[in-house]
Structure 1
Amino acid sequence: MFARSTLAAAILAVSTGAAFAAPTQITLGMVLEPPNLNPTEGAAAAVDEVVYANLFEGLTRIAPDGSVQPGLAASWDVTEGGKVYTFHLRDGVTFHDGAAFDAQDVIFSLDRARAPDSTNAQKELFTGIQSVEALDPLTVRVTLKGPDGGFPFKMAWGDAVMVDEASIAGIATKPVGTGPYRFGEWRQGDLIRLQAYDGYWGEKPAITDATFRFISDPTAAFAAIMAEDVDAFPNYPAVETLPQLEADPRFKVIVGTTEGETILAMNNTRAPLDDLRVRQAITHAVNRQDIIDGAMFGYGTPIGTHFAPHNPDYIDLTAQSAYDPEQAKTLLAEAGVSGLKLRLALPPPPYARRGGEIIAAELAAVGIATEITNMEWAQWLETVHNGGDFDLTVISHVEPLDIGIYGRDGYYFHYAKPEFKALMAKLQETVEPEARSALLKDAQKMIADDAVNVYLFQLPKIGVANARIEGLWANAPMPANDLGAVRWSE
């Protein structure tokens, strides 16, 4: 009897422990499938949502609170008034193929990103670099053309991750990084799987197997959550179902902020959009609150310029482009424009598709007809973002502190005003915080005055997750699903 009871108790203990052991696998839902897995070339935020801090790492990294933290560089020294940065690399770091990470990889990564033929989507991050040199295998000195107090922040972007020359040829589909996860598989149109890397230099993640499933349809996303086919949807597209999910004890709803300025972008070089009065008319024809209510079910913060409201340097310029359809009609008349028909390209996210329909109706009310084209993500990137072949489009720019895109030659909405470029050049060389703040405010005002785009709302971060999951980012200071601190509670 004793032996039998002891055996039964042991079996019960083992089975009970197994029943309550925390899972080590997780499945995340994503609206958009990345076009590739190379963060150093593509403009799609969906790339970073899979690989940032998971598969690839930079010299520095962005923490959940938006602060810049050490990454592959354990520390750095700043000399010559912010012109020279000396990075001290971590010892014992390896790429997923076993190759050692050292100063030569930093030189290769930064020289590749700033090369004349570089296709890095954020090449401007690297234009201030004058030279990159190894002082020893674990020390790299970066000399800039001028002081740049924001350089550690720039090195934290997904576009600035460290890569290995030996594996660069396959980076788009079989990426090799230094992060806590290595690439597992990619079933295109379905999922990407990452697996914990045993040789990771830092703290090992609690999640050992992570799957990213691509579900663009809001109805299908809701069904996947309800059936628990996905464990979390960090950027949940079916916001109309949130009340039902909030009432279900199986789930928790996580509402935070993003760096995503959602805009109705206009092609500033295409007539008649090259006329300030026409662009101003369009800004007055669109009711921001209608878009927030109709496309986002009330979630979202109105913006009047390309800057995040939670940033301390933000200025509220919404009144400058307030909803005023009569003013819109007057401006169109002053510009001599009538019977205008514009093409409106809409990518897949629900905010764009739903918001685009509302915008089309409001433009029609002031005499502007629109021809809507619903595009898949790869088509939008190729045609609109890369090709500039559009009149209007709705998109959320989720990169942090990215007002500098308005100074880029050839950028898809084609602004690049010389005076704005001069502002950005001055900002680049300014270190003193108050002076930088003033320049950023001047930049916000300039693009609002020029009605470069229609500034709609700051995209909220609305996530839904199994109630037992901990460690998901509530806010999105960077487009990322960093799994390093994610775990299941027991």
Structure 2
Amino acid sequence: MGNSGKISDGALSGPVIDRRTTVKLLGAAGITSLAGCTSGGDDNGDGGSGGDGGTDDGGNGTTDVPSDDQRGGRLTAGWFTGSIDVLDPPYISVGQYFQVAANVFNGLVTLKKDLTIRGDLAKDWEVSNGGKKITFDLRTGVKFHNGTDFTAEDVKYTINRTISEEAPAASKLGSLKPVDDGGVVVKDDHTVELNFEEPMAPALVYLTRGPGRAATIVNKEAIEKMGADQYKVTPVGTGPFEVSKHEIGSGITLDAFEDYFETDSDGNALPYLDGIDIKPIPEPATLVNALRSGDIDFANLVPLQNVKKVESASGVTKLEAPGINWYGFAMNERRKPFDSKKARMGIAKSIDNQAYVDAAYFGNALPDTGPINKATNWVWRDDKPTDQQYDPEAGKQLIKEAGAEGASFSILTTESSLRGAKAMRQQLNKAGFDVSIEQVTSSSYWERYEKGNYDTTISGSVGDPDPEQSLWNFYRKPDDGGAWNWVNFEDDKAHNLLAEQRKALDRDERKKLLQELEDHLIKQVPHAYLMHQNDIAAKRSNMKGFTHIPFMRNFHTTWVEE
């Protein structure tokens, strides 16, 4: 990989991949930025595991564990959204949903705080055949929440379901051989083999539990018994918490799973909590007031206009990490005038990104005119193409040439994103457009956005530390991998560059391809790129044992002091 050379099969094999090798893997997968972000915990907030059940640090960043009388109790958490609609991992396209689901499920492996890859549901593994084969030795005695035993068949079922149903997460295993033709081979109840068409060292990173991962293990019996639609609401996993109740728009009750397999460094069962009560709270002031008053112990996101209130609140701690995301002004290319690249570029050049960040995000974001974020430092550039740079006169000329002067259109938004929509409307009306705001519920927003029933909106990628994760589903063609290509951008060069960079295990080669891709996207304007938002959460001082990793919100090592 670049100047560091290829990685041997032996170095990639389990039960632990050392730090140096893992950093190489992260480089190939584009996740090197986590080296600076995970000093206090693991990639997923996971406790991880050593041997058949122990965890070396409980994911706390220290060896501290609660006393006997501190265990138990319930955590009350506020989620800055109107509803949490989907918890079935491969179908989750909203970052806040996965923050909940990660407490319900496990992956095959996990990325620990010291940047070593360790087992999650797999206790060991061996890489062979020049990196094309990974054989996993799975844990014994692991139970799903419905009491069924976890076996190798569940790994095969999960991967086959993700791929055959063309779920958004399927793209992570695009180089896997066909599942029933040697791609996934069940050797026995606790041994499973994955075979790839070509070497894919980052595969182990993609098999960790986290957003956009493809092997977060689901339960076949539960899916068949309750049906796919209900499973998306009340799924069954092997994680530390089980879904006891879920009323969309009202709240989620997670209760501790008594048969969860992990323990802390002292051998105590995890999780420490009896459960978590999650309340969707879309109103910024309501969320922050609930945190300040103690009505909730934790806020998964802090509304940016209220950051200063959180910073000054007694008994409240702001948690901040670099944003591994991008946001842009999405324009539906199946509607006029957005079918014109010239019109889209004119709009992009009419947007003052810094002014937008100041107005919509109170400065808590990094303005940018491209999608690759600064946290992904190995591929980030300060000197990106200037095509989308703010230039109102040039923008006005392009809009005139496209025949889009005075065009009328709406910005689709939810209550939690209303401030950003208003800031955008103000800038675009100033540029001569007739822009209105269409505010809908969270459920209606995602249904309409996915079906292309909108003019424009502000959206992007959240929680994707690998550049591919934040680009593949957005810019592959809609009928060939572009699961989230809801701007309906169809471009052969972008489509092919995404395929090429995936095969490039040499880091320098991959960097060159990704930068070429970013240059092309900036020039083609599928989005008017805006910024990268900082990841800000908050907790009360009585909440202990939580490690803030960018995007993740895992609670199995958390406890609440009375």
Within a 5 Å distance, the mapping from 1:28-427 to structure 2 comes to: 28-32=77-81, 33-52=83-102, 54-63=103-112, 69-115=118-164, 118-130=165-177, 131-156=183-208, 157-158=210-211, 159-169=214-224, 170=226, 171-203=231-263, 204-237=270-303, 239-312=304-377, 313-316=379-382, 317=384, 319-349=386-416, 352-384=417-449, 386-400=450-464, 401=466, 402-405=470-473, 406-410=475-479, 411-427=485-501
CA offset digits 1:101-138 (Å, max 9, x no partner): 111111111011111xx152223223322111112221
Judged with a 3 Å threshold, the aligned counterparts in structure 2 of structure 1 residues 62 and 271 are, in CA distance, closer, same or farther, namely farther
SS in 1 for 2:221: helix
In 1: Cα distance, 2:323 partner to 2:424 partner? 23
Residue pair 1:65, 1:475 contacting (<8 A) in 2 also: no
Judged with a 3 Å threshold, the aligned counterparts in structure 2 of structure 1 residues 67 and 304 are, in CA distance, closer, same or farther, namely farther
Residue pair 1:252, 1:467 contacting (<8 A) in 2 also: yes
SS in 2 for 1:343: strand
In 2: Cα distance, 1:389 partner to 1:31 partner? 24
Cα deviation, residue 22, structure 1: 6.3
- Larger-gyration structure (1/2): 1
Alignment TM-score, normalising by the size of structure 1: 0.89
Residue pair 1:347, 1:376 contacting (<8 A) in 2 also: yes
In 1: Cα distance, 2:245 partner to 2:380 partner? 42
Residue pair 1:55, 1:176 contacting (<8 A) in 2 also: yes
Residue pair 1:304, 1:321 contacting (<8 A) in 2 also: yes
SS in 1 for 2:445: helix
Residue pair 1:307, 1:314 contacting (<8 A) in 2 also: yes
Residue pair 2:92, 2:98 contacting (<8 A) in 1 also: no
The alignment status of 1:434 with 2:503, answered yes or no, reads no
* Residue among 540, 549, 561 paired with 1:466: 540
Letter in 2 for 1:24: G
Residue pair 2:75, 2:275 contacting (<8 A) in 1 also: yes
In 2: Cα distance, 1:143 partner to 1:19 partner? 46
Which has a greater percent of strand?
1
Q: CA RMSD, aligned part only?
A: 2.4
Letter in 1 for 2:390: Y
Within a 5 Å distance, the mapping from 1:12-23 to structure 2 comes to: 21=70
Cα deviation, residue 193, structure 1: 1.3
Aligned residues: 465
Letter in 2 for 1:213: K
Cα deviation, residue 311, structure 1: 0.3
| Unmatched tracts of structure 2, length 5 or more | 1-65, 178-182, 264-269, 480-484
In 2: Cα distance, 1:48 partner to 1:348 partner? 20
| Unmatched tracts of structure 1, length 5 or more | 1-16
Residue pair 1:396, 1:459 contacting (<8 A) in 2 also: no
In 2: Cα distance, 1:18 partner to 1:178 partner? 26
Identity within the alignment, %: 22
Runs of 4+ in 1 over 4 A off after TM superposition: 17-23, 62-69
Letter in 1 for 2:517: A
Letter in 1 for 2:77: L
Residue pair 1:262, 1:397 contacting (<8 A) in 2 also: yes
SS in 1 for 2:130: coil
The aligned residue for residue 522 of structure 2 is 448
Residue pair 2:78, 2:280 contacting (<8 A) in 1 also: yes
Letter in 2 for 1:27: T
SS in 1 for 2:515: helix
Judged with a 3 Å threshold, the aligned counterparts in structure 2 of structure 1 residues 64 and 276 are, in CA distance, closer, same or farther, namely farther
SS in 2 for 1:272: coil
CA offset digits 1:267-316 (Å, max 9, x no partner): 23433222221111111111111221111111111122122211021223
Judged with a 3 Å threshold, the aligned counterparts in structure 2 of structure 1 residues 250 and 23 are, in CA distance, closer, same or farther, namely farther
